Amino acid sequence: MAAQKKNGLQTVWFQSPPVIISAASVVGFREGEGPLGKTFDKVVYDSYYGEKTWEKAEQRMMLDAMKKALQKAGLQEKDVDFILAGDLLNQIISANFTASSMSVPFLGLYGACSTMYEGMALGAMLIDGGFADRVLVATSSHYSTAERQYRFPTELGIQRPLTAQWTVTGAGAMLLAREGTGPVITHATIGRAIDMGQGDPMDMGAAMAPAAADTIMQHFVDTGRRPDYYDLIITGDLGAYGKKLAEQILAKNGYDIADRFTDCGILIYSGSQDVHAGGSGCGCSAVVTCGYLMEQLKSGRYKRFMGVGTGALMSPCSVQQGETIPGIGHAVVIEAR
């Protein structure tokens, strides 16, 4: 029997669209000082967040975001069927340790910076498939934890090229439910891992852009929609250079989305904050989606948007061995109801 809820090659549609009943975001001081600062639930001004290490600070931010999402929905841990969470650190330790402090079945995810949208897609599948009533999705990142794992410890003061992006310090959590009030998830297009031979960890936008463009194009093919169906098409963290490259790829293939296309990594910081190409990290698309984008839906500015979580599928080991960086992009359609 053919799949009943699949459109085309890579897109699934939800017969009973899961509801986003709450969302929460916790960010660091740099993110709080950016143009979206007022859309976040909490700004933490101590990079250690009162903990002994940056890794523990990141874990605490994720836990705070999860608890805030539950509080907003008026629910407790016992009301949640599954937690889907991940982060950038080796063996997703932020998500693992956070989940260990909550009495909820846990599925750990790793999709690099695409993890939030991967979690949203899988959470929606669990609910629409009848396997869960409520799913809590969360991701996090921290500038100082990611820098010393993937690049250089911040204490070294290494000069960054203009193509480099600034890892967002922040955590986002979203509570999906079978019933409730809020915007709904109607479709998800699962991306392919695409490797175009880019191997520079200081230019992740170039590694991710082809995968993002591929997912967006496949979504249009699978659904028969055109770009003007959406009020907004937003990628996770391509940054300034990756966004421009994705735009060029799409235009070359007949999809002009320039008038409704932006990137979370571009929105979260201002030009005066010296972040070079923009923001990145698991927390980037998570906090922008759970904060700013949810507010835009609530205000009525947007009625529907397609978010594409983007990820550079590398590890410290693969980079040190000179391997190239595969990219991934997972699209989720969210509509006001």
Average pLDDT across each block of 10 residues of the chain; the chain has 337 residues. List them in order: 89 98 98 98 97 97 98 98 97 97 97 98 98 98 91 74 88 98 98 95 93 98 97 97 97 97 97 90 97 97 98 93 96 96
Q: Which of 153, 91, 86, 144 is nearest to 120 (CA)?
A: 86
Q: Which uninterrupted H or E stretch holds 63?
A: helix 54-73
Q: Which of 91, 27, 22 is nearest to 64 (CA)?
A: 27
Q: Which of 295, 210, 277, 211 is nearest to 245 (CA)?
A: 210
Domains and CATH numbers, the chain: 6-177 (3.40.47.40), 184-335 (3.40.47.40)
- Cα separation, 281 vs 267, whole angstroms: 14
Whether the pTM exceeds 0.85: the reply is yes
Q: What is the pLDDT of residue 1?
A: 65
Reduce the DSSP state of residue 192 to 3 states and report it: coil
Degrees, nearest 5: CA angle 235-237-240: 95
